[in-house]
Amino acid sequence: MKKILRMSAIILSVVLVFVLIGCAERNDPGPGNNQPTPTPAGGASAGTGTTTTEPEPAEPDVFSIFVTIGPTDTVVDNSVVDWFEEMANVKFDFVISTGPEMITLLLHGGDYPEIFLQWFSNDDIVQYGVVSEIFVPIDEYIEGHAPNINAYFNENPRFKVNMTAPNGRIYGVRQLPATLNHGHSGMKGWINTAWLDVLGLSMPNTTEELYDVLVAFRDGDPNGNGLKDEIPLSGAIGTWNGEPWWYIMNSFILSVQGNFVMVDNGRVDFVANTDAFREGLRFNKRLVDEGLMDVNSFTQPLDDLIVLGQNPDIEILGMFAAGHIGMALDLEDIERSKMYAPLVNPIGPSGRRFVHYSSPLNASGTSFAITDRCHNVPRALEVIDLMFNELNSVIAYNGTLENGLWQHAEPGLLDFEGNPALYQTLYARREQAASVVDDRFLPFVLCDTQRTKYALVSDDIYDPASQQYELRLIQATQEYLPYRLPETLPVIWATPEAAQNQALLSVAILEYVRQSAALFITGGLSLDNDWDDYVAALSNMGLAEYVKYFQDGVDSARARGD
């Protein structure tokens, strides 16, 4: 357990909280117009920012709590942890994760803490909450002990429905989502527009136009060095949306690697055995066969893509797939960074393009769980609810005001959505401040609604400053959103037996699809001679049962009005 702080530090931190609450009331930082602000023990009257004379606070409550932190992060002498404990009048006995298997060992071994500050899936909630009753339901305490969560539920009833287990109880709440987030549509392509200009080409709008552009990248010496060293299209495996074949497949049919299903008018269909999927593979094979898609994209890690994107002296990369452009480029190299722009996956032969979209309100799982070992569940929920306060999450991410990494926004500055900004960062990029590991604590960031409320001190999206870069990514995402499908998979709740069976089917089917797709594209399998065997193998692996799981989930969601 962390050491008890000196009284002088307590007084200083409480004064800081008074100031923050006053500023929070001025700017209304919460997800709603009446977002509650935290009241630190023994000090401030929320909404006024003034102090009152009250007795000394009681001894802090002590809770054991499981957290996962980065290899360079710490809970010892961490100013944010210290600040939060003082503000909430609580002491944490931290259990630090050593890996994903530790959670299973704790839960099955019985020696688990009172609180898990950890994401759990809906299947975990059913197994450890509904069935095993290790996770305790919190719904009866939310209205009286969780004002931040309750306010968000009232404003977003669909989110509350998604957090409700099949037995009608709520066992936890997912991090409150931002309204705009570049991750809502993360499958992106980035193309070298400087090369397009050199070659006198326009942004490709169809797959055939993309083919012509990539040929020109290969043959037209767009970097002007007289060498045939250009790589038209590349990517990487084992990273966020880095596989170019997957990006291109969405020009033919919606291809979500996490399930390979799509929903249309309430009907769930598997896509990886369709004619459209086959034609998408055929187009990808054409690119590989003609040296337009880097065959190393099927095996190379992100570090190898970075080598291509940051090649010294001269650019050699024409296009790449990545969730965000900084995965391959050095954003501090502004000249090269400006060369690349987002390219929405082109229109395919059907006259359509498909874009996967993750609705922020369609979230599932929970970011915490309170266990049956907790000595005071309502009080534990009160403490966790403070992490769902927007201003507290700003502090948890950026540190306390004293560290000089952020401030309340100066008057007149606007945020990403054109509203008066609430917060203003004072660092070039978060990575530059990341070495100050005792000045943040990411597990406490359970309210992401602040993401778009930071001030844009410049509209230059190529400025590597943190907020300008976020704006660049959001603007790129907005180019994709007009092509999103009207229906997506809803939040699915299932019995432990059904979930376990689906997990086994998913591992087998999805891995088979990915491996087969790579072989079809690179020539290990024939799209003419081996396709029927591939389709038959999928059926024999339990494909009908696999699809029925999703169909049952869609039917259940429709029945509850989701």
Interatomic CA distance for residues 331 and 337, integer angstroms = 6
**pLDDT number for residue 77:** 86
Interatomic CA distance for residues 235 and 242, integer angstroms = 5
Q: Which domains does the chain have, with CATH numbers?
A: 7-181+362-452 (3.40.190.10)
**pLDDT number for residue 439:** 77
**pLDDT number for residue 303:** 97
Beta strands in 368-516 (DSSP E): 369-370, 406-408, 423-425
Picking from 433, 376, 357, 448, the residue whose alpha carbon sits closest to that of residue 399 is 433
**pLDDT number for residue 13:** 37
DSSP tag of 225: S
CB within 8 A of 24, min separation 6: which ones? 37, 391
Structure tokens at 69: 């932190």
- pLDDT by residue for the chain (562 residues), tens digit each? 443 333 333 333 333 333 333 333 333 333 333 333 444 433 333 333 344 455 676 899 999 999 998 887 888 889 999 999 999 999 999 999 988 889 999 999 999 999 999 999 999 999 999 999 999 999 999 999 999 999 999 999 999 999 999 999 999 999 999 877 888 888 999 999 999 999 999 999 999 999 999 999 999 999 999 999 999 999 999 999 999 999 999 999 999 989 999 999 999 999 999 999 999 999 999 999 999 999 999 999 999 999 999 999 899 999 999 999 999 999 999 999 999 999 999 999 999 999 988 888 788 999 999 999 999 999 999 999 999 999 999 999 989 988 888 999 999 999 988 899 999 988 765 455 554 556 789 999 999 999 889 998 777 888 877 778 888 999 999 999 999 988 899 999 999 999 999 999 999 999 999 999 999 999 999 999 999 999 999 999 999 999 999 999 999 988 877 6
Amino acid at 278: R
Sign of CA dihedral 399, 404, 410, 414: negative
Contact status, residue 85 vs residue 92, Cβ threshold 8 Å: yes
Contact status, residue 36 vs residue 29, Cβ threshold 8 Å: no
**pLDDT number for residue 20:** 34
DSSP tag of 131: I
**pLDDT number for residue 161:** 93
Enter the pTM of the model: 0.84
Picking from 366, 371, 365, 367, the residue whose alpha carbon sits closest to that of residue 128 is 371
Q: In a 10 Å sphere around its CB, with 0-12 CB exposed, 13-18 middle and 19+ buried, how is residue 182 labelled?
A: buried
Q: Is 115 helix (H, G, I), strand (E, B) or coil?
A: strand
Contact status, residue 527 vs residue 282, Cβ threshold 8 Å: yes
Amino acid at 498: A
CB within 8 A of 191, min separation 6: which ones? 203, 204, 213, 318, 319, 340, 341, 342, 343
Q: In a 10 Å sphere around its CB, with 0-12 CB exposed, 13-18 middle and 19+ buried, how is residue 264 labelled?
A: exposed
